[in-house]
Each structure stands twice: as structure tokens, then as C-alpha cells.
Amino acid sequence: MTKEDGRKLREARRARVRRIRARVIGGSVALFLAVWMLITVVLVTGHDPALARKTLTQTATTAATSTSTGSSGSTGTVSSSGSTGSTGSGATSSSTGSGSSSVSGVTSSQS
């Protein structure tokens, strides 16, 4: 094998490496653009799953709040924290079904 053959072999390897790198980079850029185009199309058409979930949660919370305030007739008074009924010692029972993060009566009376 002569120096000329070695030089040709190295040059062929370098060309092959350049082609492989170019294909990998081109494929990565194409995949990146395709994913962002998909996200853009979904958002532009108004089918955002995160917004749909939030709307569904707000609807459920609104419905739960309206039913809890409307059904407080014989069980006691409804306080501003969404609790129903009270005991003589000043502690209140909080309802966890409404989804609100409120402070209980015991915590607020001690602070």
C-alpha cells in the first residue's frame, strides 16, 4: 500500500463521515420542525388539551361550589371557606370535595 492509497482511503472515510453527519443533522432538523409544526397546527386550530382540561376542571369546580352552597339548608351555615356546620369548640370541618385550598377554622383561630 502506498502513501497515495492511504491518502485516498482517509479521504473516502472523511467523505463518508461528512455524509453520515449531514444526514443525521438533516433528519434531526426535519424531525424538530415537524414536531413544532404539529404543535402549532394543534394550537391554531383550538384543540389545546391543556386548555380543555382546565375548562373541564373549572366547570366541575363551579358545579361543586353551586351544589354545596345550594344544599346548606338543614345541615348548618355555610362559611366563607366552604365548610358546613360547626361545633361548640370553634373548630370547623372543612369539605375537601370542593377542590379549594382554604384554611380551617382551627388554624385561623390560633394565628
H or E element at residue 45: none
Nearest CA among 59, 68, 55 for reference residue 94 = 68
pLDDT at residue number 83: 46
Give the residues across from 78 on adjacent strands. Answer: 84
Nearest CA among 96, 102, 94, 99 for reference residue 60 = 99
pLDDT in tens, 34-53: 999 999 998 888 887 777 76
Distance from C-alpha of 87 to C-alpha of 108, rounded to nearest angstrom: 15
pTM listed for this prediction: 0.41
DSSP notation for 23-43: HHHHHHHHHHHHHHHHHHHHH
